[in-house]
Structure 1
Amino acid sequence: MYWRAISEQQPGAKWSGLFDEYWPHYKRWWEREGDSARPSYLESRRALETHMPEIVPLYDELCELAGGGDQAARFLSFYCPPPYLAGCSQAIWTGKEPVLVRNYDYNPKAFDSLILHTGWQGRRVMGTSDGLWGMVDGCNDAGLSISLTFGGRRVVGTGFGVPLILRYVLQTCETTEQAGRVLARVPTHMSYNVTVLDAKRQYLTAMMAPDRPAVITHAAVATNHQENVEWVSHARFTATVERERFLLQRLTLHRDPEETFIGAFLKPPLYSTAFDAGFGTLYTAVYRPRLQEMEIRWPGTVWSFSMDNFNEGSRKVTIPGAA
């Protein structure tokens, strides 16, 4: 896989170039159920104005940079996108310097492979991109870190793709408490578990769903089910219960040192090579919110980033089992 790290303080030529590069692939995905299956531009923008009004000016700016087209604007709203599934494990190591660690298990052919560092709307954010302004994990300059996992339910409803919800949290929140309020009110189109850790060591996991209120918990671990396993075949295939138990044991019974705990994400049962089924581990991310630092790890490789001293670059990474 070819990864890039890109920094652009305000939306401009770099982001526009990325959009031109990625849009043909995203357009095919967006249209896979037919154009009429997606909400209109007016519906999409009204939903943003209702639920995420603070980032509407940023949305408008990105739409203009993307060429101002109807389909591009609807895609960038992330409102009622096509359904998609991922694996993923995430946990908070609650040591002296707490860290948020996650594995992202997904199809390598449907992934941005991009670390974005932005200063949009006066808020610095860095993290792993999805949809060119959404995030699957990230942190901001207030020391707030966030990550998502699929919630293991088939229900699809009316709401936003969760990567944009994570971007919204990072753009507008500074504490776990503030993030919890956002995650409780913004509608999601599918079920996701979102874990948040702030600079004051406070954390939560929000179990979001399109058909019922979000459940805000003090869980330090999230895999691919919520309070109960509802999609049994998916749970068995992804070993979500086994991964959750493994992480809970590492946090409570073993009390691993930080590096040992992080290292466990790069080995079975957390590390997956099921790429033929679309659930292989693409990377492990490590966030240190108080230091405003992040790492992207692969077996034998660590790529480090700092909010204050972010270095652009690229990496070609060979992932075991990935085509």
Structure 2
Amino acid sequence: MAQQQQQKKKKKKTFRAIEVGDGADGRWAAHVQAQWPQMETWLTEEGRTPAGRTEARALFEAHLPELVPVLDRLSAQVDRPDGETLLTHAAIRPFFSGCTQIGTRQSLLCNYDFNPADCEGTLVSSHFLRPVIGMQDAGWGLLDGMNDAGLAVSLTFGGRFVHRPGLAILIVLRYLLETCDTVDQALAKLAPIPICIPQNVTLVDAARAVTVYVGPDIAMTEAPDACAANHQDRPVPAEQEQFTRTQERLAAVRAAGPDVAAMLRPPLYQGAYDDGLGTLYTAHYRPGEGRVTYHWPSESWTQSFDDFTEGVRSVALGPTG
């Protein structure tokens, strides 16, 4: 009885899998229109001004040129006053999440930790420039994903509360997957892009896996290994460590290696949902196979380029037992 009562108290999160093609036939637009009331809260006040709109467009064009035709196609379908600006991801409020990730050749494993109410939870198969599958947020940005060339990427917050003009990492991950075949190509594209807050990016292909530190106040720097939690090349303050346990989690994921079971247990699996640090899902990408499995303690959901199935899952969050 006690266990049943505990299960009743668990938070639930609904995840959707949708296919949107190249974004031209209305499927993407219908989904985003339904999400718009929440999405538009991401936009900064400056981004709502004429000068802010112009600056956001210019930043996008300068650093993500191959995606400009896609931006135009998608923003025309949204048909909102600030639709184009929001979709540039160049005027988005800073967001600070948890997350832990580890990469090896042909494998990327990550926990995404955030407030359940603020995460879109949409697994999207798209073909804007090429086939890409990933967890979408803020319209067409990606929290993690892979492409048909066997490249996979994911993010974690870099732990330093610095914010300057730049692009949100969500659209940059989309850009890397849409335009690159390999880790080396992606690193070359990523290095000059201004990122608005500190982020750690793990990239995996058939030949290598690497984590890099990026941010508005640092040059892109390669991490010691393909692992990341929520700090970069320096420890966080003691109070922040107590709250996020970032160094503890990094040590734990290094010790465990690419182990799904370990990612579903504390300290890697977190339950502080009300503080925005609860684990929403564990994603295991095998980009060489074109396959990803999303794991929760009580179930999993596999999708691939060869067999992508639309659907809805309502999952219980939090550890079992």
Cα-to-partner distance string for 1:273-312 (whole Å, 9 max, x where unaligned): 0011111000000000110100111002010001122111
SS in 1 for 2:249: helix
What is the letter of the counterpart of residue 162 of structure 1?
I
| TM-score in terms of structure 2 length | 0.91
Call closer, same or farther: CA 1:35–1:217 in 2, change over 3 Å: closer
Query: What does residue range 136-151 of structure 1 map to in structure 2 within 5 Å?
Result: 136-151=143-158
Contact 1:39–1:74 (CA under 8 A) maintained in structure 2: no
Shift of 1:34: 6.7
Superposition RMSD in Å: 1.7
**In the alignment, which of 134, 137, 142 is matched to residue 141 of structure 2?**
134
Q: Alignment partner of 1:57: what SS?
A: helix
Deviation at 1:70, TM superposition (A): 3.2
Are residues 212 and 231 of structure 1, via their aligned partners in 2, closer, same or farther at CA, if it must alter by over 3 Å?
A: same
The Cα shift of 1:152 comes to: 0.1
What residue in structure 1 maps to residue 20 of structure 2?
A: 8
Cα distance in 2, alignment partners of residues 150 and 188 from structure 1: 12
The answer to whether the aligner puts 1:106 opposite 2:114 as a matched pair is yes
Pairwise mapping of residues 77-226 of structure 1 onto structure 2 (< 5 A)?
77-93=88-104, 98-121=106-129, 123-198=130-205, 200-217=206-223, 219-226=225-232
CA distance in 1, matches of 2:249, 2:240: 13
Label 1:131 to 1:36 Cα distance change in 2 as closer, same or farther (>3 A): closer
Q: Which residue of 1 aligns with 2:40?
A: 27
1:254 equivalent in structure 2: none
Cα distance in structure 2, aligned partners of 1:249 and 1:92: 13
Q: Secondary structure at the match of 1:49?
A: helix
1:46 aligns with one of 53, 58, 64: 58
AA of the residue aligned to 2:276: G
Letter in 1 for 2:140: W
Distance between the aligned counterparts of 1:133 and 1:39, measured in 2? 23
Q: What letter is aligned with 2:153? A: I
Q: Distance in 2 between matches of 1:50 and 1:232?
A: 39
Counterpart for residue 75 of structure 2: 63
Structure 2 distance, partners of 1:28, 1:189, is: 17
Give the secondary-structure state (helix, strand or coil) at the position aligned to 1:214.
strand
8 Å contact kept, 2:159–2:232: yes
d(CA) in 2 for partners of 1:134, 1:39: 23
Q: How much has 1:38 moved relative to structure 2?
A: 9.4
SS in 2 for 1:246: helix
Query: Given that residues 90 and 166 in structure 2 are in contact (C-alpha distance below 8 angstroms), is that contact kept between their aligned partners in structure 1?
Result: yes
Structure 2: distance between partners of 1:105 and 1:131: 16
Q: How far 1:218 moved relative to its partner?
A: 5.3
Give the direction of change, closer, same or farther, for the CA distance of 1:39–1:205 in structure 2 (3 Å limit).
Answer: farther
Counterpart position of 2:241: 235
Instruction: Report the secondary structure of 1:21's partner residue.
Output: helix
Counterpart in the other structure of 2:295: 297
- Following superposition, the deviation at residue 14 of structure 1 comes to 1.2
Residue of structure 2 equivalent to 1:318: 316
Give CA deviations for 1:55-112 in whole Å, capped at 9, x if unaligned. 0000010100101x33111111100311111000000245xxx411000000111111
Tell me how far apart the structure 2 counterparts of residues 28 and 194 of structure 1 sit (CA, whole Å).
25
Instruction: Give the distance between the partners of 2:238 and 2:220, measured in 1 at CA.
Output: 21
Which amino acid in 2 is paired with 1:28?
Answer: T
Deviation at 1:191, TM superposition (A): 0.2
Unaligned runs of 5+ in 2: 1-12
Q: Distance in 2 between matches of 1:158 and 1:234?
A: 25
Q: 1:318 to 1:39 in 2, by over 3 A?
A: farther
Residues 244-283 of structure 1 correspond to what in structure 2 (within 5 A)? 244-251=250-257, 261-283=259-281
- The question of whether the paired residues in 2 share the 8 Å contact of 1:59 and 1:76 is answered with yes
Deviation at residue 37 of structure 1 after TM alignment? 7.7
TM-score by length of 1: 0.90
Change (3 A) 1:195 1:35: closer
What secondary structure, in the 3-state scheme, does the structure 2 residue paired with 1:158 have?
Answer: coil
CA distance in 2, matches of 1:160, 1:238: 25
Deviation at residue 233 of structure 1 after TM alignment: 2.7
Residue of structure 2 in register with 1:255 after alignment: none
Aligned to 2:6: none
Q: Which runs of 5+ in 1 are unaligned?
A: 252-257
> How far is the alpha carbon of 1:40 from its aligned partner?
2.2
Deviation at 1:35, TM superposition (A): 5.8
Q: Write the distance in 2 (CA, Å) between the matches of 1:302 and 1:38.
A: 45
Are the aligned partners of 1:206 and 1:214 in contact in 2 as well (CA < 8 Å)? yes
